[in-house]
Amino acid sequence: MKQTLANLFLLLFFLAGSPVWAQSTAIITGKISKPLSEEITAVNCAPGLVTTETEIVATLKGGQFRLEVPVSKPGLAELVHGTEVLTLYVEPGFELHLTANGDKLLKTAKFEGAGASENNYLAQYAYAFEELEQYQVLPDNIKLREKAFLSFLESRKQEQLKFLEKFIAKTPLSLSFHKLAQAEIDFGYANDRIMYFDLREQTVRSENRLTPSPAYYDYLQTLNLQEEANIHSPTFTGFISNYTRHLAIAAGKAETSPDFYSTSYHLARQKLTGPVQSLALSQILKQSFLKGYAKQSADLLTDFQTLNQDQELLAYLQELSQQNRQLTAGTPAPDFKLQTATGEEVALSDFKGKLVYLSFWSTSCGMCINDMPYLQELHNKLDSENLVFISVGMDEDETAWRNMITNRRLPGVQLYKGLSPDLLSEYAIKDLPAYFLVDEAGNVLTTKPKRPTNRDAETELLRLLHKGQASAK
């Protein structure tokens, strides 16, 4: 499973319009051959930066299922079956029928009904480009030098565009979905290009950091960053985050600088307009709060309120500000001593000297289960690094926790704590899953690192590990 597919799930239709739709649900039925479990789950992420995740679970009966997914406007969702995940495009009124093999969901998925064309495209595109390493930056193509790497990116982009054109020639796609598919291709190229030098430095340790050619970043001037339709693309939202980071670095600010986020904010404010500007500024604000820069974040939020009147978004950012005053970057992470499945006692402080990716989860949390294959993939990719993954089970039912970690062979350090009010309050945990990064000295790096489903989670961890930044500022 590739992180690009995961990133599609995290689609944010930020500040999109609100047309009136005839229906508020999408019906998904299907037949799963060779099922991996007795259940299938649809996870729908409501539009907006303030995301609301809705999980609908259906029990397979003779391999057949029916799901009614709440949908207020077009967007992406995920279908989860066992360890298999399939991205869906849904609109109010869609009636999709899926046939697939449970153990090869992506490869064998075939849709019929309203919305079939868009969903068949997603499945075929993901299988063609996201399951084959030859099209991935990692692990091999990142080793290429600049000229060869750009050749790889350009060749991949042209193949993706030909795939889209060929598909449309046989099967028409809706205009809105066509724009989404186009943006995924365009900004997949742009995002991989903007991250090339950082990612190469982090992964190719036998060589020094390369220096960009004089015209390397000129392509940024050719991108249509103001196109509102791009906001529908999850890859675009990821690119905008990396673009505003690039602006601050190009202005001479290190990510560890106290004014890094304020610089990024003001540059994005100057260069972007409209909904894209609001997206970029809210992303920067969120990261600034999560990194613990309370004072400057409050000042930036005051300015943001003059630009944006979305009361739900403003309330979310204000709540985020309050939450992150309790446990901020640079403060000691609350220590704990918990038991493994074998009864061994393990403390968080046992791992001083390592970067810790700390997660809290439970077997009754659908999003926790959804994150598991991505967390496993992240662990496997970074297993040789000075990094430890600690997962704390918060179940009331210890047997359910034990069965889950055994049956799924969950990696990393698996600990059990039940529903402990002390641990929940010490880490200000309101919802599961909850993720934290703890540096080598045992201090909080961030209370909201990138989730395992985020395609940039690996990049973020590698950056911290290999730039000497894994210590809270």
pLDDT at 18 over 60: no
116 and 196 belong to one structural domain: no
Q: Is residue 13 part of a domain?
A: yes
Q: Which of 220-229, 244-253, 311-320 has the lowest mean pLDDT?
A: 311-320
- What is the pLDDT at residue 324? 67
Mean pLDDT confidence for 406-420: 86
Query: If pLDDT is split at 50, 70 and 90, which confidence band does 183 have?
Result: very high
Which of 323, 348, 376 is at the close of a domain?
Answer: 323
Q: Identify the three-state secondary structure at position 184.
A: helix
pLDDT at 218 over 60: yes
198 and 252 belong to one structural domain: yes
Which of 272, 299, 323 is at the close of a domain?
Answer: 323
314 and 341 belong to one structural domain: no
Q: Is residue 218 part of a domain?
A: yes
Q: How many domains does the structure of the chain reveal?
A: 3
pLDDT in tens, 128-182: 998 888 999 999 999 999 999 999 999 999 999 999 999 999 999 999 999 999 9
Q: Is residue 331 part of a domain?
A: no
Q: Is the peptide bond before 139 cis (omega within 30 degrees of 0)?
A: yes
Query: If pLDDT is split at 50, 70 and 90, which confidence band does 61 have?
Result: very high
Overall pTM > 0.95: no
466: tokens are: 């290999």
Cβ atoms 363, 395 nearer than 8 A: yes
Number of Cβ within a 10 Å radius of residue 212? 10
pLDDT at 189 over 90: yes
Within 167-295, strands assigned E span none
Domain extent, residue 110, equals: 3-131
Q: Is residue 375 part of a domain?
A: yes
pLDDT at 323 over 90: no
Enter the DSSP assignment of 428. Answer: T
Task: Find residue 81's DSSP bridge partners.
Answer: 84
List of residues 6+ apart from 142 with CB closer than 8 A: 149, 196, 199, 200, 203, 204
Amino acid at 329: A
Q: Is residue 317 part of a domain?
A: yes
192 and 274 belong to one structural domain: yes
Encode burial over 29-60: b for 16+ CB neighbours within 10 A, e otherwise: bbebeebbeebbbbbbbbbbbbeeeebbebeb
Percent of the chain with pLDDT strictly greater than 90: 62
- What is the pLDDT at residue 264? 97
297 and 356 belong to one structural domain: no
- What is the pLDDT at residue 447? 84
Q: Is the peptide bond before 212 cis (omega within 30 degrees of 0)?
A: no
317 and 361 belong to one structural domain: no
**pLDDT, greater one: 468 or 30:** 30
User: 74: domain CATH number?
Assistant: 2.60.40
- What is the pLDDT at residue 46? 56
Number of Cβ within a 10 Å radius of residue 129? 21
pLDDT at 22 over 60: no
Q: Is residue 270 part of a domain?
A: yes
